[in-house]
Amino acid sequence: MTDDVFLPGTYARGVPYSRFRELREHSPVRRIGEPAVGPWPPGPGFWAVFRHADVKHVLRSPQTFSSHLGATQLRDPDTEADLEFVRAMMLNQDPPGHSRLRRIVAASLTPRAARELEHVIDARARALVDGVADRGEADFVALSADLPVRTLAHVLGVPQEDGALIHDWANRIIGYQDTDYALSRTAPDGLTPMGRAALAHRPAPRTRPDGRPVNPRSREALADMFHYAHALAERPAPGSVMAAMREGGLTRDEFEMMFFLFAVAGSETVRNALPGGLLTLLDHPGQHALLRTRPDLVPSAVEEMLRYWPPVVHFRRTAAHDTELGGQLIRRGEKVAVFHPSANRDERVFADPDRFDITRSPNDHVSFGFGPHFCLGAHLARAQMRAVLRAVLDRLPGLERAGEAVRLTSNFQNGLKHLPVRWRTDR
C-alpha cells in the first residue's frame, strides 16, 4: 500500500506526475492507503485507477462502479445520516435517479444557453481585466475568481451583491484541507438582507463529541447556505436554474443538494482551471508567444490547459459487485477513485503527453469527466476560460510571473491560492 497519491500535502507541492507515470506503467489499478491527516481520521483505503481507458470504463459503468452507494467523495461520510443526506445530490446518484435530476436543470445549461450567455461573459471578463490593466500587476487568482462567481450568480438568479457568499462557501467546503480556507468566514459588506440573514445561520467551527471535525459536507455545516437557498427559492429569477429547481418537483434534500452542487462545483471548476491554465501558459513562453500571434487558437489552447491542469484530481465510485479491473479483483463495497491528471497524461492516448501544445488535436482529456456524469456546466466553463484568455491577450502585454505561485493544499481540487503576475502599461 502507498499513500503518497492520497496525502493532501503531496499536491501542495505539485501534482505527482512522475509518480502517476510509474503507476500507469506498473500498477495501473493500485491499492492506496488512507492515513489520518491532521484531525481527520484514517480510512479503509481505496483502489486508484490511473490509465485513460480504465478511467473512462469506470466513469461510464454506473451499474458496476456506483456513485450512489458511497457517494463520490473519497472520504467516507461520518455517519449513515450524512451519507443519506449527500446521496440526494445529483452527483451522488446513478441512473435512473441521476437522469431525472439532470433533466430538471439541463435546459438551463445547454450549449445553446451557454452561447446566449457568452456576450455577458465576454463583457464581464473584459471589464475585470480592464479594471486592472493600468496597475501593471495583480494576483490572478483573486482577479479571475470573480468571473465564475458572477456567472454562477447570473445562472442561479443570485443577486450580484451576494456573489461573495458563493466564494466563501466554496472556500469552506472545497478547501477544507487547507488551513487558509477551512475556516473561511468572510462577511462582505453590501449583502442583500437575504445574504445578511444567511450569515446569521453560519455555523461556528466545531468538532463532534468523539473529537472528529464536523464533515464540511454535512447538513449542520451547510446551514447558512441552505437558509439562503430556501430564501432565494421564494423569489426565483425567471428562466434561472433556481426557477427550474423550484418547478422540478425536488424533495427538500434534493433541492438543497442541487443548490450546493451548483453554488460550489459551479464556481470551483473555473476558479481552479483559469489560474492553473494561465500559469501553464506563462511557463511555456513559446506557446504563449504563438497564442499572441494566433488568437484563433484560443479554443484549442483552453482544451490543452484543461488537459494539462485538470481542475479536479479525482472522483470516487464504489464497487456495486465483485469485478476485475486492470488485473485486480475489486470486491463489492470497496472504494474506487479515478485520477484525472494521470489519465490526461496517458502515453497510450496522448503523444508526448508532458508537452504543453496549444495546437494539440485530438485532445481527449477527461477533465470534465465522462459518461452519465459528464460535467453539466462544461460549456459555461469553457466560455469563461476563452473570454478571460482573450481579454488577457488583448489588454495585458508582456504578461509574466511576478513571484511564486502558491498551491492549494488539497487531494481533491487542483488549485492555486495565489498567482502574482505583472505586465507592461506602456501601451
Domain count, the chain: 1
Which structural domain, as residue segments, surrounds residue 220?
Answer: 8-422
* pLDDT of the residue at 211: 67
| Residue 191 domain-assigned (yes or no) | yes
Q: What is the pLDDT along the chain (427 residues), one digit of tens a residue?
A: 478 999 999 999 999 999 999 999 999 999 999 999 888 889 999 999 999 999 999 999 999 999 999 999 999 988 898 899 999 999 999 999 999 999 988 877 777 777 888 999 999 999 999 999 999 999 999 999 899 988 988 888 899 889 888 888 888 887 778 878 766 666 667 899 999 999 888 877 666 666 677 777 788 888 999 999 999 999 888 878 888 888 888 999 999 999 999 888 888 889 999 999 999 999 999 999 999 999 999 999 999 999 999 999 999 999 999 999 999 999 999 999 999 999 999 999 999 999 999 999 999 999 999 999 999 889 999 999 999 999 999 999 999 999 999 999 999 999 999 999 999 998 6
Q: What is the pLDDT of residue 155?
A: 87
In a domain, 296, yes or no: yes
Tell me if 186 sits within 8 A of 162, measured CB to CB: no
Report pTM.
0.94
Residue 84 placed within a domain = yes
Written as nine digits, the cell of 352 is 508526448
Nine-digit cell string for 55: 478511467
Query: Is residue 288 assigned to a domain?
Result: yes
Q: Is residue 169 part of a domain?
A: yes
Residue 2 in any domain: the answer is no
pLDDT of residue 414: 96
User: Which pairing describes strands 137-139 and 314-319: parallel, antiparallel, or unpaired?
Assistant: unpaired
Residue 417's closest CA among 132, 167, 162? 167
Give the C-alpha separation, 176 to 168, whole Å: 12
> Is residue 3 in a domain?
no
Asked if residue 1 is part of any domain, the answer here is no
CATH number at residue 49: 1.10.630.10
At 15, list the grid cell.
Answer: 501534482
CA-based nearest residue to 46, from 93, 1, 91: 1
